[in-house]
A and B are shown apart, each in its own frame.
Chain A
Amino acid sequence: MEPSELKRSKDSPNSDESTRRSSFPDEVLERVLSLLKSHRDRSSVSLVCKDWYNAERWSRTHVFIGNCYSVSPEIVARRFPKIRSVTLKGKPRFSDFNLVPENWGADIHAWLVVFAAKYPFLEELRLKRMAISDESLEFLAVSFPNFKALSLLSCDGFSTNGLAAIATHCKNLTELDIQENGIDDKGGSWLSCFPESFTSLEVLNFANLSSDINFDALERLVGRCKSMRVLKLNRSVSLEQLQRLLVNAPQLAELGTGSFSEELTFRQYVELESALSNCKNMHTLSGLWDAKGIYLPALYPVCTHLTFLNLSYAALRSDELAKLLAHCPRLKRLWVLDTVEDKGLEAVGLNCPLLEELRVFPADPFDEEIIHGVTEAGFVAVSFGCPRLHYVLYFCRQMTNAAVATIVQNCPDFTHFRLCIMNPGQPDYITNEPMDEAFGAVVKTCTKLQRLSVSGRLTDLTFEYIGRYAKNLETLSVAFAGSSDWGMQCVMGGCSKLRKLEIRDCPFGNAALLSGLEKYESMRSLWMSACNVTMNGCRLLAREMPRLNVEVMKEDGSDDSQADKVYVYRSIAGPRRDAPPSVLTL
């Protein structure tokens, strides 16, 4: 609806501003634009002309900031006066893998202070890879009377005391989503801080936390929050307790179970199965820690309408998975551990024709003696059975060029192809050749490819292919690959839509870094660590491109001239002032 309305107004005569103003009042334009949700569309709209820029900024209620240092809170508040929902991302993605120093930054507090002044009616805050303290959480809880939704993903710096503050003060809370954070878990009493009069919670996810919570408090909370649709429990909640919760919440659409392994009596098992079968709306299931094969049949009634099944914390065997999947014909997204092995993946191919996303995580990523896990055969089997597959994250210990070629022939619609051959620099294990042709096949065949992670032994040829064919590529992750600067130059020269590039342990140096001079301002960020970039190269980049922030993280004991870790990003806020001593801004 919205795009055609916009098209009509764009097609109207290209007259001067006054004519446009009289034939198309601002209020109408704002009303139309308020229906636009996509932030990319909104960015495009704001570039049309000054009127549209103003109409857009007055009608925007949600702002998405992909790099918290690309802009300052003051600038955001000046441009957008009516924001009710904010999404902020902070640290570079490689901080998930301990590559970013402690205290690097991305602290939310300065933002909250500005928001408290400018957006007192703020309702939603979604943070990824930000640092947030208990004091900040308390400040948040008391500063925004209308606050409704808090989502923290891969954040750190806070403890359960902060959660207690949120539970205590946010009377209108609908969503509390705590995922994969570095939380200081001081105990489960925070959950008891929700007042007895509080009934508005719709989303509660505390799967991340390890300590026991007060189950009675949880049971009462779930019982009185009749609109609850997402409930993700932590491991301390038992099967028997799960059953008691489900009896009071059959309306749940997404469930994360607790531990799925205690000894149940036959009667308890039947009661659990019955409670689950009453959950007619359930489309997403996760948790299932330590799942025992013998209890999985209790899930069968729910499986028939499941679209997303996350088994990445349940070390299932191939036969256990096969039996379960026979009941999951509608599955679109599946996450598993590689304990299911190739045989388990064959079952995926056989049972889940609608599958769009598959993630296979390694159960023993650091143990070289393990000879299990999945191989190229499992991936190939899935590709034959699941032609709609477009998102894959696959950790394996062996792969061949031929297998990948077959896979993309079966599934040409990949938008996200993330392959991790866990031994760095490993070639095709049958032919001993580099894996260049594998990724060549991916980029040649999958024209919609947006995100690519490469691995294995790769020469510059891989990057020639990427530069030449991956015209829609936005995110590229590279590790232990390439032969020379030429590889990176191909990517910088060829991938016109590239926004995020992260590179580690590759032989790319200053020539490669500087080949992207023109490009970095159209990207969100560049990360290069353990490459051959020097301080001088970084200084040159910083000098030539004043609108980029060029940050170097030095490691103790390394050569003074080497730029160990480089993080480059565009910013209208100038160099940041909160960098720790280990981070040099050039």
Chain B
Amino acid sequence: MEGSVGYDNDLNLKATELRLGLPGTEPVSIVRRNKRSLQQVADDDCGVNGCKSDDQNETAPPPPKAQIVGWPPIRSYRKNNIQTKKNESEGGGIYVKVSMDGAPYLRKIDLKVYSGYPELLQAIENMFKFTIGEYSEREGYKGSDYAPTYEDKDGDWMLVGDVPWEMFITSCKRLRIMKGSEARGLGRGV
């Protein structure tokens, strides 16, 4: 508790000041939190907080983030569990190249950012400024000249959307938006 006292008192005054002001005069935030220091709150005992908060002051170009001890009110046990999970899943995105027939250069996207096909296709449409069309199992992508395809682990070119999403992102090596007659041929039976 020793180290965080300065911040606690600071925040008290600020909190009082703000309440005397007009409603809606929301400051940048009464609370300015820093993920790193709060993890330390969860992990270490009070004495360490002092050292860590000093570090924060030195490193932050945006307004130095103060921490509020014990806020939001979540038990250390729960905080630690969530942090662990986040760190595990943060181990690198899945970046794949995206090419579009006729485009001068390729793009790269992180498949992990999307939660499913609709989001992914929307993003690609925005990126290359075109429309993909309606997906159906029987006929592939109808209604436009384009078809999204991907190269899988075996080196085969597959139509995007046939397999479950999780399986897709682990097997997709690169994406290619096919255009024209090649595209129209896809999904209509070979």
Give me the interface of A with B, judged by CB distance under 8 Å: 94, 96-99, 101-102, 154, 180-182, 208, 289-290, 292-294, 312-313, 315, 317, 319, 337, 361-368, 395, 420, 422-427, 432-434, 457, 459, 477, 479-480, 483, 504-505, 507, 530, 553, 555-558, 564
Within 8 A of A (CB), among B22-51: 23-24, 26, 29-31, 33-35, 38, 41-42, 45-46
Contacting pair A361 B74 (CB below 8 A): yes
CA distance A319 to B165 in the complex (A): 13
Chain A residues, CB < 8 A from B72: 362, 365, 395, 420, 422
CA distance A423 to B35 in the complex (A): 15
Chain B residues, CB < 8 A from A154: 75, 77
> Per-residue 0/1 for B62-100: is the Cβ within 8 Å of any A Cβ (1 yes, 0 no)?
000000111111111111011001101000000000000
CA distance A223 to B74 in the complex (A): 36
Contacting pair A97 B19 (CB below 8 A): no
A–B Cβ pairs within 8 angstroms, 9 of them: A102-B45, A102-B46, A313-B85, A361-B78, A424-B71, A505-B15, A507-B15, A553-B1, A555-B8
Contact residue among B1, B18, B70, B167 (Cβ-Cβ distance under 8 Å from A425): B18
Chain B residues, CB < 8 A from A530: 8, 12
> For the complex, is B164 an interface residue (Cβ under 8 Å from A)?
yes
The answer to whether residues A555 and B2 also contact, given A361-B74, A366-B35 and a CB cut-off of 8 A, is yes
CA distance A530 to B9 in the complex (A): 8
Chain A residues, CB < 8 A from B82: 313, 337, 363-365
Q: Which residue of B lies closest to A459 (CB)?
A: B19
B51 CB, nearest partner CB in chain A, Å: 14
> For the complex, is B115 an interface residue (Cβ under 8 Å from A)?
yes
Contacting pair B5 A558 (CB below 8 A): yes
> For the complex, is B61 an interface residue (Cβ under 8 Å from A)?
no
Contacting pair B23 A432 (CB below 8 A): yes
Chain B residues, CB < 8 A from A564: 5
Chain A residues, CB < 8 A from B41: 98
Chain B residues, CB < 8 A from A180: 75, 77-78
Chain B residues, CB < 8 A from A294: 164, 166-167
CA distance A88 to B72 in the complex (A): 27
Chain B residues, CB < 8 A from A101: 1, 46
CA distance A459 to B78 in the complex (A): 31
A557 CB, nearest partner CB in chain B, Å: 5
Contacting pair B23 A557 (CB below 8 A): no
CA distance A361 to B77 in the complex (A): 13
CA distance A533 to B23 in the complex (A): 26
CA distance A434 to B15 in the complex (A): 14
> For the complex, is B121 an interface residue (Cβ under 8 Å from A)?
no
> For the complex, is B11 an interface residue (Cβ under 8 Å from A)?
yes
A320 CB, nearest partner CB in chain B, Å: 9
Contacting pair B164 A505 (CB below 8 A): no
Contacting pair B46 A98 (CB below 8 A): yes
> For the complex, is B133 an interface residue (Cβ under 8 Å from A)?
no
Chain B residues within 8 Å of chain A by Cβ, number: 48
B122 CB, nearest partner CB in chain A, Å: 15
CA distance A564 to B116 in the complex (A): 50
CA distance A292 to B16 in the complex (A): 46
Q: Which residue of B lies closest to A477 (CB)?
A: B73
Contacting pair A313 B81 (CB below 8 A): yes
Contacting pair A424 B31 (CB below 8 A): yes
> For the complex, is B155 an interface residue (Cβ under 8 Å from A)?
no
Contacting pair B45 A420 (CB below 8 A): no
The answer to whether residues A556 and B2 also contact, given A96-B73, A180-B75, A361-B74 and a CB cut-off of 8 A, is yes
The answer to whether residues A97 and B69 also contact, given A294-B166, A505-B11, A558-B5 and a CB cut-off of 8 A, is yes
Contacting pair B85 A315 (CB below 8 A): yes
Contacting pair B38 A366 (CB below 8 A): yes
Contact residue among B11, B29, B75, B167 (Cβ-Cβ distance under 8 Å from A97): B75
Give me 7 other A-B pairs in contact (C-beta within 8 A), A312-B78, A505-B12 excluded. Answer: A98-B41, A98-B76, A361-B78, A433-B23, A556-B1, A556-B2, A556-B5
Chain B residues, CB < 8 A from A457: 19, 23
CA distance A153 to B158 in the complex (A): 52
Q: Which residue of A lies closest to B20 (CB)?
A: A483
Q: Which residue of B lies closest to A97 (CB)?
A: B70
Chain A residues, CB < 8 A from B9: 558
Chain A residues, CB < 8 A from B34: 366
CA distance A180 to B78 in the complex (A): 8
Chain A residues, CB < 8 A from B86: 363-364
A101 CB, nearest partner CB in chain B, Å: 6
The answer to whether residues A365 and B74 also contact, given A425-B15, A483-B19 and a CB cut-off of 8 A, is yes
Contacting pair B73 A97 (CB below 8 A): yes
> For the complex, is B6 an interface residue (Cβ under 8 Å from A)?
yes
Contacting pair B74 A362 (CB below 8 A): yes
Contact residue among A182, A426, A433 (Cβ-Cβ distance under 8 Å from B26): A426
